[in-house]
Amino acid sequence: MNRVLSEVDPEVAEILDGEMDRQQNCLVMIPSENYASKAVLQTQGCIMTNKYAEGYPGGRFYNGCKYMDAVENLAIKRGKELFGADHVNVQPHTGTQANMAAYYALLEDGDTILAMNLSHGGHLSHGKQLNFSGKYYNAVFYSVDRETELIDLDHVRDMAKKHRPKLIVVGASAYPRILDFKDWREIADEVGAYLMADIAHIVGLVIGKVHPDPVPYCDIVTSTTHKTLRGPRGAIIMCREEYKENLDRAVFPGVQAGPLMHIIAAKAVSFKEALEPQFREYQAQIVVNAKALSKSLMKEGFRLVSGGTDNHLMLIDLTNKGLTGNVAADILEEAGIIVNKNLIPFDEASAFKCSGIRPGTPALTARGMKEPQMEIIGRMFNQVLSNTDDTHIRTQVREEVRSLCREFPVYENLDQWQ
């Protein structure tokens, strides 16, 4: 670890060493996590953290912003190129704050939004009662179909006609299938609603052209930058020219003050990386790996929600294994496999226990793993979860995970995608 830090603060340095060891020697399969490149990490830790730059390039409320303007303009230029968007705001600190700003730009308090049910794969910030979005807006939710476990657009259309939302939100945290935004635009137009896509999870796939593109069809598109995009922890918003002023005012001074300039600099770096042809190959491999993993899991007797995946993640329904998601995730962690528990559609277990887990392939793919490793990992899931009373098997799989991880060192093989 960094020598300055280990001298100044050995306690934190030791914790960081532990976390580095965990990231290197575990299978990181949480689909919203990834390994940022070394260039992104370096920029995220840079001196731009020292500067206040409230406002936007050319119109700051602080002096001394020459280099802040330069880096934010570069991030905006690259962001526009990457997404083919009229306008990009690179200041949102998080995905949730990006959504807050998007609502703030388009809606008044009390307006109705139509979004995906959280327990069917939606996100907290799409109107969940405990979140600001459920407090300030009247949220109604569409669900997936009980039989197919897919979003049924006729149901979405019916909900839209019944509730006349001012905004329809399309996007999810735990939906393993493709979202075709063209169809959603039609529904929004039928009821005169705005259409917003939240592509926090699938943004990299969209850039890599292995998932349909929302930008031509949506009024506003929000995304995180730290998930499949592999940038710094943060977010970005794309919108049509006509909402530009409203959106910028909604971000600052609407929901944020000083932008995190070191993060914006790191966003610029990650956009440059995402514009390279290797990034497309990386995204295509994420999807190939997810398909390979889902095939292996199904061969091992696991039931996948909707019968498989078209993107970077899958939802395993553990009901037939007699396990709940929380128990399965804890047991897998003992074997060095990190996944999170997740509700499945129409789940009968509580949100604390859950009936499912949600593995994904972005981080494994970033370290260079391919189909043969996915096959092996599917078998490991079964070994561990079909023998939950056998701690010896877990210890054995833990060793296999370690040696697999040694073959794919995180911060060496990463460079192949840059």
Ligand X SMILES: *Cc1c(COP(=O)(O)O)cnc(C)c1O
Give catalytic residue positions.
52, 54, 198, 224, 227, 233
Gap between the Cα atoms of 296 and 8, Å rounded: 47
List 156, 188, 200, 318, residue binding ligand X (CB under 6 A): 200
Q: Taking the CB of residue 391, how many other CB atoms lie within 10 A of it?
A: 12
Nearer to ligand X, 201 or 312 (CB): 201
User: Taking the CA of residue 3 as centre, how many other CA atoms within 13 Å lie in the half-sphere pointing to its CB?
Assistant: 0
List 43, 89, 112, 125, residue binding ligand X (CB under 6 A): 125
Q: Token match 């701690």: residue? A: 391
Which parts of 223-282 interact with ligand X (CB under 6 A)?
224, 235
List 171, 204, 345, 368, residue binding ligand X (CB under 6 A): 171
Using rule CB under 6 A, residue 306 touches ligand X: no
Using rule CB under 6 A, residue 173 touches ligand X: yes
Angle at 392 between CA 389 and CA 394, to 5 degrees: 80
In degrees and rounded to multiples of 5, residue 207 shows phi and psi of -60, -40
Nearer to ligand X, 274 or 405 (CB): 274
Residue 69 C-beta: closest distance to ligand X, Å: 25
Residue 351 C-beta: closest distance to ligand X, Å: 16
List 72, 149, 198, 248, residue binding ligand X (CB under 6 A): 198
Using rule CB under 6 A, residue 32 touches ligand X: yes
Residue 100 C-beta: closest distance to ligand X, Å: 9
Nearer to ligand X, 225 or 365 (CB): 225
Binding range to ligand X, per CB under 6 A, among 175-183, 196-204, 244-252, 287-295? 196-204
Nearer to ligand X, 149 or 198 (CB): 198
Nearer to ligand X, 89 or 173 (CB): 173
List 201, 211, 341, 398, residue binding ligand X (CB under 6 A): 201
Residue 94 C-beta: closest distance to ligand X, Å: 4
Binding range to ligand X, per CB under 6 A, among 141-149, 169-177, 247-255, 386-394? 169-177
Residue 116 C-beta: closest distance to ligand X, Å: 9
Nearer to ligand X, 224 or 355 (CB): 224
Residue 171 C-beta: closest distance to ligand X, Å: 5
How many residues of this chain bind ligand X (CB under 6 A)? 14
Nearer to ligand X, 125 or 306 (CB): 125
The amino acid sitting at 267 is: K
Using rule CB under 6 A, residue 289 touches ligand X: no
Residue 312 C-beta: closest distance to ligand X, Å: 12
* Residue of this chain nearest to ligand X (CB atom): 95
Residue 255 C-beta: closest distance to ligand X, Å: 12
Nearer to ligand X, 323 or 357 (CB): 357
Using rule CB under 6 A, residue 324 touches ligand X: no
The full 3-state SS of the chain, as one line of letters, equals CCHHHHHHCHHHHHHHHHHHHHHHHCEECCCCCCCCCHHHHHHHCCHHHHCCCCEECCEECCCCCHHHHHHHHHHHHHHHHHHCCCEEECCCCCHHHHHHHHHHHHCCCCCEEEEECHHHCCCHHHCCCCCHHHHHCEEEEECECCCCCCECHHHHHHHHHHHCCCEEEECCCCCCCCCCHHHHHHHHHHHCCEEEEECCCCHHHHHCCCCCCCCCCCCEEEEECCCCCCCCCCEEEEECHHHHHHHHHHHHHHHCCCCCHHHHHHHHHHHHHHHCHHHHHHHHHHHHHHHHHHHHHHHCCCEEHHHCCCCCECCEECHHHCCCHHHHHHHHHHCCEECCEECCCCCCCCCCCCCEECCECHHHHHCCCCHHHHHHHHHHHHHHHCCCCCHHHHHHHHHHHHHHHHHCCHHHHHHHHC
With contact defined as beta carbons under 8 Å apart, do 194 and 168 qualify? yes
Which parts of 72-111 interact with ligand X (CB under 6 A)?
94-96
Please give the residue ranges that form the binding site for ligand X (CB under 6 A). Answer: 32, 94-96, 123, 125, 171-173, 198, 200-201, 224, 235
